[in-house]
Every structure is written in C-alpha cells, then in structure tokens.
Amino acid sequence: MKKIITISAPGQLMLLGEHSVVYNRPCLVTAVDQRMRATVELIENPELQLDAPDVKVIGYKKSLEELGNGGMPKGAKFVEIAVRNFSEKYGLKSGIKVTTKSEFSSLFGFGSSSASTVCVTKALSELSGIKLSQKAIFELAYKTVLDVQGKGSGFDIAAAVYGGILYYVIGGKVLQPLQIDSLPLIVGYSGVKADTVTLINAVKEKADKYPQVIDGIYTEIETVVEFAKKSLKKKDWQSVGELMNINQGYLSSLGVSTKKISAMIYSARNAGAYGAKLSGAGGGDCIIVLTPATKKRAVEKAIIQAGGEVIQVKANAEGARIEK
C-alpha cells in the first residue's frame, strides 16, 4: 500500500448562473488549468499535520480524535474537516501529513478551498485502498464544504473533481459535462478579495424583502443559462457573449457588481469583446471576457487600463488526478 501520494485539482470559474445556482437553478462552470496540489503522507503519530504556506498555515498539528473541535486557523478548516469526514466514514489507521501548494493565489476566487478539499479526499481514498468514484469524492467533499461554510451549491467541488465545462444544479442533482474543446476566455482580476458567504447573505436579505422580484431574476438567469448552454455547444461565441452581458445585468440588479468590476467589464466590451461579466459571488475577484482572437491584445490592454490584472489561465482543464 502506498504511504505517500500527490493529487492535483483545478481551480474553477463560473461562466453563467451565479447566485441563482444556490436556489436550485442551473449554472455553467469551467475548470481552469491553474491547479492546487496536495501531497498526503501516512505517518505514525495519530494526528493531522498540515503545511499550507499559500494560506499562511505552517506546522499545524491536531490529534485525529480532536479534528473539528476547538480552534482552527481559517486556512486549515477545509483540510481538517475533509480528513475528519473521511475518517468518520471510512476510518483512518494512521496519522496524516498534508502539504499543499497552489499555482494560483487564494485571492483570485478560483476555488482554492474546494480544490484542496477534493485533493485531500481523493488522496485519502487512494492511500486507504478504497479508490472512491468521482461521484463519491464529490459527495464527501461537498459535505465538507457545507460543514465549514453552512451553505454552498457545490459547483466548485464539481469542477475540481470532474474538470471540463459543466452544466450543474446544486448538490449535483444535475451534473452534465459539455464536450467543448476550446473557450476563448480572458480573465481579469479586480484586486479585491470577495467574501462569498457575506455576498450570498446580502442577496438573501433582498430576496426576503422582495421575494417575487428576486425569484423572477433567478428565473431569468436560468433562461440565460439554458440559451448559453446551447450556444456553447455550437461554439456560437457571439451569442454566448451577448448572454454573458445579459447575465451581468441581472447580477448588477442583485447588487453584487462594483464600480471597479463594471469599469473593467465596459472597457473590455468597448475594446471589442463578445461579452464580459463578473465570475463568482461578486464584490471583487474576477471578471471573465469572451473575445475574438483578433481583439485579445486590445481587450487585455483595456482591462489593465481599467485597473485590473490579466490572469493567464485556460478553461476546460482536467479534473482531479494523481501526479507522478
């Protein structure tokens, strides 16, 4: 039996369907080629040891019996609860040492916590000899996210496990890979780290006050997602871009866009992009831009001039895998 293994999982970007996905509407999400890596080793001491320098966690230790109890550094929560959940379901016969390293900053909103959760869950399944299916890894990792955050749709977990471009409904009720071999995407970082749970709660307050209005917006976003799914399959980038712009309008009406994000989006559009919108909960993080190849440089320059940073990533990346 192996005693050490390295697993990597991709980051993710929401293409269309933010916020409405939390309320049982579909979304479109893509895995991106910047990856999280976790090296997991079986050790003699019955404890979790964690080194995660990207989130400033070094030399963290806790006995297996105490996992989930007491204080946990923010950067250790997902790994600790992932190990606890695996241990409770399948059992652990030894201690675990986890070392994580990310190719992307946790600031970007690429789903670093979800990727690390998937890496650790898959690693433990391999080291224990159980070799869980993708579906089983998804379900256990999704439980971990809910245990830590209290809420979440799981689209980021799905992207980390399966990779590619997915049509997805909360909890994996629908999880459909789309066979698309390319996506001419540019990613711009706003320089602001958003808090997903805070933004979800802020939108919920609006929904509680104006339930019919907000539910109507979610229904319209669902319609946009369904049209975009068809256009993606046809590689009709012009239509996908137009639908991204419409989706952005609905997100603005929910109050999750910002002046900085809007400036980046309009600059990209004015430079010749098919379409542009925020990606994720909003309030900061990244925008995504669909653009013709002939306009790529002009669009990237426009994003930078608007105060953004262009992040070099490719969509449609491979899901969680064993690294040799």
245-262 pLDDT, tens digit each? 999 999 999 999 999 999
Q: What is the pLDDT of residues 51-96, one digit of tens each?
A: 999 999 999 999 999 999 988 999 999 999 999 999 999 999 899 9
160, two tokens:
């980390």
- Does pLDDT of 1 surpass 70? no
Q: What is the pLDDT of residue 107?
A: 65
Cβ(124)–Cβ(93) below 8 Å: no
pTM to 2 decimal places? 0.93
- Does pLDDT of 109 surpass 90? no
Domains and CATH numbers, the chain: 4-180+316-323 (3.30.230.10), 185-311 (3.30.70.890)
Q: Name the residue type at position 60.
A: Y
- Does pLDDT of 134 surpass 80? yes
Q: What is the pLDDT of residue 324?
A: 80
Of 33, 51, 147, 156, catalytic:
156
Strands 95-102 and 57-63: unpaired
Q: What is the pLDDT of residues 188-228, one digit of tens each?
A: 999 988 888 788 889 999 999 999 999 999 999 999 999 99
Report which of residues 90 and 150 the model is more confident about. 90
Q: What is the pLDDT of residue 197?
A: 79
Question: 3-class DSSP state for residue 5?
Answer: strand
Residue 41 C-alpha from the chain's centroid: 26
State residue 290 phi and psi, 5-degree precision. -100, 125
Element (H, E) at 275: strand 275-279
- Does pLDDT of 133 surpass 90? yes
When the pLDDT of each residue in the chain is averaged and rounded to a whole number, the result is 95
226, two tokens:
């369904």
Residue 114 C-alpha from the chain's centroid: 6
Phi-psi region of 269 (alpha: psi -120 to 50; beta: other; left: phi over 0): alpha
Binned at pLDDT 50, 70 and 90, residue 150 comes out as confident
**Burial of 129 from C-beta contacts in 10 A (0-12 / 13-18 / 19+):** exposed
CA dihedral sign, ordered 141, 144, 145, 151: positive
Binned at pLDDT 50, 70 and 90, residue 126 comes out as very high
Q: What is the mean pLDDT of residues 304-322?
A: 95
Exposure on the CB side of residue 274, measured as CA atoms within 13 A: 22
Exposure on the CB side of residue 101, measured as CA atoms within 13 A: 6
274: nearest Cα among 262, 289, 286, 256: 289
- What secondary structure letter does DSSP report for 175? E
Q: What is the pLDDT of residues 270-283, one digit of tens each?
A: 999 999 999 988 99
Known catalytic membership, residue 156:
yes
Q: What is the pLDDT of residues 160-170, one digit of tens each?
A: 999 999 999 99
